[in-house]
Chains A and B, each alone.
Chain A
Amino acid sequence: MKTTILKFAFLATVIGTLTFSSCKKNPTPTPEDAQEEYDASRIQFVLLNPEGSETTDTTTIDFNRNGVAAPNTAMLMSNKHYRMLITLLNHGNSVNDEVLEEGTIHQFFFIASQNNVFDYAYNDFDVNSRGIGLDGTAIISGPGTTQLKVVLRHGLDKSKPEAQSWNSTSYENAGGEDDLNISFQITAQ
């Protein structure tokens, strides 16, 4: 009886060790096609004619994955209006429609370090008629230079007083989180 049991134990240990020496020693991962992390961003200033139509004069600032602006300064003309377009890119493709689909919980805010250069108005609106900010009008006065911080808030409550103006410095109090937080310089001359 005892030898039978010991034989059984031996067998159990053998099976165990053989299992652990079994074939697969290395994992086989699968590369994941990361969809939602946008890896670049672009801000374009399209010069507008006095009556509001677009010209072909476009100033583009590209932001890489680390939020570094290239070029780091947008050279714009004083006392002009520009159509300001922001694009979120993933592998070179725009993902703006995802933001528009959930327009009621997305809003851009623009914080300028100097007062007399940059002014803004939203051109795009969500279903509740509140501005989003992918498309807007930038009113450049100056001459002068300002740093401009561009923030996209996701999940905010747009009815809050802190979300009512494009340059609200207390936008965090409307809730939500930063989805985009980049900054660059505007020189108006």
Chain B
Amino acid sequence: MIAFCNDRKAGYLLILTLKLMVLFKKAMLLCMVFINAFSYAIYANDKCNLQVSITAIDEQTNQPILSASIGFGKSFSLSDMNGWSVMENVCLGKNHLHIQAIGYENIDKDVIVSGNDSLKVFMKVARKSLDEVEITGHKQVLSTTATATTLDKSELNKTAGGSLANAVETIAGVSMLQTGATISKPVINGMHSNRILVLNNGVRQEGQQWGVEHAPEIDPFSAQTITVVKGAAAIQYGGDAMGGVILVDPAPLPTDSLIHGSLNLVGVSNGQMGAASGMLSGNFKKLPALSWLVQGTAKKGGNLKTADYFLDNTGMNELNYSVAAGYIKRHFDADVYYSHFNTELGIFKGSEIGSIEDLEKHITLGRPIDDGSFSYVIGAPKQSVIHDLLKIKAHVHLNDYLHLTAQYSFQTDARKEFDIRRGGRSSIPSLDLSLNDQSLNVSLDYFNGKAWKGNIGIVGNRQENKNIPGTLTTPLIPDYISENLGVFAIANFLKTNYQIEAGIRYDYKYLSALGYDLDHNLYGGIRNFNNVSGSLGAIWDINPRWNLNTNIGSAWRSPSVNELYSNGLHTGAASYEMGDSTLKSEIGLKWITSLQFKNAGNWLNISLDGYMHYFNDYIYLNPSGQLYQSLQGAFPTFNYAQTNARFLGTDLNLNIAFLKHFDYNLKGSLIRAKDISNNRYLPTIPTDRLEQAIRWKYDPVPYLKDSYVEFSHVFVARQNQYEPLSDYTQPPDAYHLLKVGLGTTLLVNKQSLNINFSINNLANTEYKDYMDRFRYYAHDLGRSYELRLAYVF
């Protein structure tokens, strides 16, 4: 794994990098001094008639702190049950903030006030004497100017048992790309596969994501929060984050000496699926700085059902577990994380097709010939994926302002795909890929608690992919070795009402691919890619009612191995695909602006995002209009090509609270995408969607919390913007889906039991979704009764 090789060039490069880092730090300190001096000059005149509201929140549980003593400047107050207090007659400029609350670490900080403001202060539990608390004047989890939405545990509990794509689909602008009902991938603003990045506990998920039928190998049960970032976040996370990033973050390691845990149970009628997931975490009494966490999930489902018939061979199994340990001290912390993901997915039997004639017949019928039946048995065709991830991270405070983080990760992905074959070969995989990926990130963070934040880092990555011999069929993609090196720098200027962010990144990628084709000829080659990405963004809290985020960022993506070297019959897709080894990198520029409004009475909440995404050399599958003739019949051929493309879109999220206990929520999204070089529409673009829900919230008794009954309606429009040649048939009709749900949380002592029950596709509508690659062969899911329990202690 780690081989020591004597390479002087590497050593010189390193010394240069470190010298740059030290220089940058000096430059930043200088900058900070200058800006501070400048701001004091501006705010020289005294004004003491400002109002500042302060909310004290428990950092770990996100619960408000009652009766915290808050002193700000000359004012003093006690926080109410919402952790809230208002400071009157606050002077412009520097004010000292002092917060004291039983069980928590005191806060003593200087804050610069430039106008009426609201501050959220996160307080750490007193047992651990940790480092300084970050005061954030903003409501986001991440300090990023790109639009980000976080799903917390209460929202994740409603989709528990589903895939990662199911979990994030509830966010406006996020949809799914399906390959039948068992395989789904998330789509952010029209981007998916290797145009979005999935970060699993801070590690880039690497697992053949170029394949549209390769779903992310992540267990959503392991997440405490899932955040979707909709901007081109390539600066922090590297290439591939063109359309956005999905951050899957686990529960933080506990800092008290109790054993914590949770148990989730899910039962779904469609597919008769059951899932159980448990988590335990704790601390060592003799060594309180050392915490641990273990988690495991088991899932099993059988054949799924559409409105009228069963989908044969759509069962699934999953067995996952993860282990984490952390050592947390005042100025240093380290953690280790290991996760194992193992799934077996049945692929709908009716999707096995021979030639274009077969396909046309399937399309005419639009559904399988037989009604199928229920079974838990999974046979060919199917996928079997095992994914292991190891992460080691260390974080140290060089001084009060400067933090150093180093992270090493190692991943392996073993992906086997089985087709229906003769001669007993159905049990031999026809695709057997083994991938391993190593990454080392070192970064330096600067934050002086006031106005300046900076971040520089260096990232190195090495990936190896092998086709395991013995499949008795020619591999689809060659073996390859890929190495990446990236260096980046980000600076944030933070004021209480606004924030400006700028970033720049340089990436180098080396790709060496080699494989044997059908006639045992060697093919492949070596490619080198270089790119610079940049981003600029701002957040502006215009006033307590209006908030604006805007971010413009460039990102790039080198062509993936299948785009470069595909050359063969893709029987599963009834097509013959040809790669182009001369493809260049894609460069994208995304500008996303998000406007948020909350009215004075606080009963109306609107969030509107608008984005423009331009691509140079966008890679896509172009239908050549020709047929490839083989013994099995004729197949349409597609070749990977590049063009310039633009995406325009908008996402809306609106909430109206009325009649004391009611809520109306509306979510909408639409995308318009075009190949602007050829003035054609692009294939597989999500259709217009509208989702509305009415919710009644009422807690009948004190030990029940967050009780609700909800009725929702989803409308998905027909895709009218498509090129007839690029698709085998017309897009499916628009459809409506109805859903009813209810839930509550039972509180006993410090334990809680969250219960959610829903009936999905209430009207048992028979429908097909344009973004389902199996829509030619079958319909989407019928009615389903779902029960979800989450017990936390």
Contact = CB atoms under 8 A, between A and B. Distances in A.
Interface stretch (B199-207, B335-343, B512-520): B512-520
Report, as a range, how many residues of chain B touch the other chain. Answer: 35 or more
B467 A172 contact: no
Interface stretch (B157-165, B175-183, B479-487): B479-487
B478 A29 contact: yes
B466 A27 contact: yes
Interface string A1-26: 01001100110111111111111111
B132 interface: no
B10 A21 contact: yes
B404 A9 contact: yes
A2 B473 contact: no
A31 B5 contact: no
Nearest to B6: A18
B2 A19 contact: yes
Contacts, number: 189
Nearest to B358: A178
A34 B460 contact: no
Interface in B342-396: 352-355, 357-358, 361-362, 365, 368-370, 396
A57 interface: no
Contacts of A67: 629-633
Interface in A12-52: 12-41
Contacts of B252: none
Contacts of B208: none
Interface in B5-23: 5, 7, 9-11, 13-14, 17-18
A25 B422 contact: no
A155 B369 CA distance: 13
A16 B355 contact: no
Interface string A165-183: 0000000111101111110
Nearest to B571: A177
A181 B422 contact: no
Contacts of A182: 631
A5 B423 contact: no
B544 interface: no
Contacts of A18: 4-5, 7, 10
Contacts of B3: 19, 22-23
A177 B353 contact: yes
Interface residues of A, number: 59
B357 A178 contact: yes
A82 interface: no
A172 B13 contact: no
Interface in B150-191: none
B369 A34 contact: no
A20 B398 CA distance: 27
B458 interface: yes
Interface stretch (A70-78, A97-105, A124-132, A140-148): A97-105
B322 interface: no
Contact of A21 (B5, B353, B396): B5
A35 B430 CA distance: 11
A154 interface: yes
A107 B398 CA distance: 74
Contacts of A9: 404, 406, 442
B421 A36 contact: yes
A8 B285 CA distance: 30
A37 B473 contact: yes
A135 interface: no
A13 B17 contact: yes
A40 B630 CA distance: 10
A132 to B, nearest CB: 13
Given A10-B14, A17-B460, A19-B462, A32 B425 contact: no
A21 B406 CA distance: 19
Interface of B: 2-5, 7, 9-11, 13-14, 17-18, 352-355, 357-358, 361-362, 365, 368-370, 396, 398-399, 404, 406, 408, 420-423, 425, 438, 440, 442, 458, 460-462, 464-467, 469-475, 478-481, 483, 485, 512-516, 518, 520, 522, 526, 629-634
6 contacts: A12-B442, A14-B11, A20-B483, A26-B526, A29-B514, A178-B354
List the 9 closest pairs (A to B, CB-CB), nearest first.
A178-B354, A181-B633, A27-B479, A16-B440, A35-B472, A31-B516, A22-B3, A98-B423, A172-B361
